[in-house]
């Protein structure tokens, strides 16, 4: 399946207006409900997953930088995420409007839990915090942010090869993403692909978004190599998934996905991102702007009402 070519020579639309719009809209995210969030933090009771991860799954994540964990999320939570996505789709945030390319069947949104009670409930009470806890090796489990990736049937929007850490104004080792499909997913319907072991590479690549947002591109970082023209040189991992299965991956594991070439299968997915106690706020140029009023200074441990610590010490 053809993807947009990556790497040196890719022509990235230089859209200064789009970029500054991107920055200003993210800080507009509604953070006025902080006192309420502090209360929910104090009463959070995350459920257990359908099963705990096996020792070999945790070990494979450490070795490969990604695992597929089948049958870990109870159906009730998958259904709840679907309800949240529907609400986000009918009332996207200002940022969601910017990130989505609806005319090409692609919708995205970020920090949905700050706007949407369904996602708030998912952050504080779903099994996601406990799943993260199993792999973070940290006394605390803190929610970083949530993100929607939806590709309608026929969407020609690939997710370019990238790793996540260079998008983010944080640093530390204890960071994990859980990617949760709401629909069954195959490579035809935009299944994610990962390069096995790439989380150990020393490279730090430019952050390329699906809309090639120029705000995010740090000229000091490396271009992603042209993976699609050299697929036989890499160990690529991908899985067919059913609702209830999740992918768990390291923030430096290189990954991407093609457009959705299926004729009738929408591909809805929630990326739920979590950090442990060693992760600090580390603002850098060309990284994702943060919602206003997070209250953190450079070097502060990630936490507070915008980045709630959902599990403390077990
Ligand atoms: O769903 C996708 O296509 C991209 C997901 C992704 O890149 C991520 O969750 O980091």
In terms of Cα–Cα distance, which of 74, 117, 114, 81 is closest to 268? Answer: 81
Q: What is the pLDDT of residue 45?
A: 86
Q: Which atom of ligand 1 is the closest one to the Cα of 158?
A: 3
Between CA 160 and CA 261 the distance in angstroms is 16
DSSP states of 162-223: E-SGGG-SEE-S-EEEEEEESS-B-TTTT--EEETTGGG----B----TT--GGG--TTSBP
CA 274 – CA 271 distance, rounded (Å): 10
Domain of 295, in residue numbers: 19-312
Ligand 1 atom closest to residue 273's alpha carbon, by position in its atom list: 9
Q: What is the pLDDT of residue 44?
A: 76
Confirm whether 106 is domain-assigned: yes
The pTM for the full model equals: 0.90
Number of structural domains in the chain: 1
Which atom of ligand 1 is the closest one to the Cα of 255?
A: 7
Q: Which two tokens stand for residue 83?
A: 């309800």
Extract the tokens encoding 219: 């000229």
- Tell how far the Cα of 202 is from the centroid of ligand 1, in angstroms: 21
Q: Is residue 12 part of a domain?
A: no
d(CA 122, CA 230): 39
d(CA 124, CA 121): 5
Burial bucket for residue 87 (CB in 10 Å: 0-12, 13-18, 19+) = middle
Instruction: Give domain status of residue 14, yes or no.
Output: no
pLDDT single digits (tens) 102-137: 999 999 999 999 999 999 999 999 999 999 999 998
Q: Which among 110, 82, 116 has a CA at the least distance from the CA of 97?
A: 110
Assigned domain for 300 exists: yes
d(CA 203, CA 222): 7
Q: What is the CATH number of the domain that holds 301?
A: 2.60.120.620
User: Is residue 8, in this structure, part of any structural domain at all?
Assistant: no
**Domain-located, residue 88:** yes
**Is residue 4 situated within a structural domain?**
no
* C-alpha of residue 65 to centroid of ligand 1, in Å: 15
Pocket of ligand 1 from Cβ distances under 6 Å: 149, 159, 164, 177, 179, 192, 255, 257, 269, 271
pLDDT of residue 4: 35
pLDDT of residue 12: 32
Spans in the chain with pLDDT lower than 50: 1-17, 27, 30, 32
**Residue 149 CA, closest ligand 1 atom number:** 1
Distance 225 CA to ligand 1 centre (A): 18
Query: Residue 256 is encoded by which pair of tokens?
Result: 């991407």
Q: Look at residue 17 and give its three-state secondary structure.
A: helix
Give me ligand 1 centre to Cα 256, in Å.
Answer: 7
In a domain, 272, yes or no: yes
């Amino acid at each position: 399946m053809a993807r947009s070519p990556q790497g040196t020579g890719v022509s990235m639309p230089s859209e200064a207006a789009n970029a500054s719009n991107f920055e200003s809209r993210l800080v507009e995210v509604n953070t006025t409900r902080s006192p309420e969030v502090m209360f929910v933090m104090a009463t959070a009771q995350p459920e257990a997953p359908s099963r705990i991860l096996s020792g070999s799954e945790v070990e494979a994540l450490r070795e490969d930088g990604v695992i597929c964990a089948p049958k870990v999320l109870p159906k009730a939570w998958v259904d709840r995420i679907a309800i949240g996505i529907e609400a986000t789709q009918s009332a996207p945030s200002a940022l969601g409007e910017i990130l989505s390319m609806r005319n090409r069947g692609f919708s995205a949104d970020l920090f949905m839990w700050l706007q949407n009670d369904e996602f708030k409930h998912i952050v504080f009470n779903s099994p996601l915090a406990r799943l993260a806890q199993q792999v973070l090796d940290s006394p605390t489990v803190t929610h970083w942010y949530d993100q929607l990736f939806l590709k309608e049937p026929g969407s020609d929007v690939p997710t370019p090869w990238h790793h996540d850490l260079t998008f983010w104004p944080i640093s530390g080792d204890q960071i994990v993403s859980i990617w949760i499909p709401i629909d069954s997913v195959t490579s035809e319907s935009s299944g994610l692909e990962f390069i096995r072991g790439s989380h150990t590479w020393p490279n730090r690549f430019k952050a390329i978004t699906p809309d090639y947002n120029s705000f995010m591109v740090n000229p000091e970082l490396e271009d992603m190599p042209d993976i699609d023209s050299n697929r036989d040189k890499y160990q690529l991992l991908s899985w067919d998934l059913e609702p209830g299965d999740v992918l768990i991956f390291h923030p430096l594991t290189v990954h991407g996905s093609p457009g959705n070439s299926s004729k009738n299968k929408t591909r809805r997915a929630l990326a739920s991102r979590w950090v442990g106690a060693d992760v600090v706020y580390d603002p850098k140029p060309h990284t994702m702007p943060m919602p206003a009023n997070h209250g953190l200074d450079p070097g502060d441990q990630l936490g507070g009402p915008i980045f709630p610590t959902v599990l403390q010490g077990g």
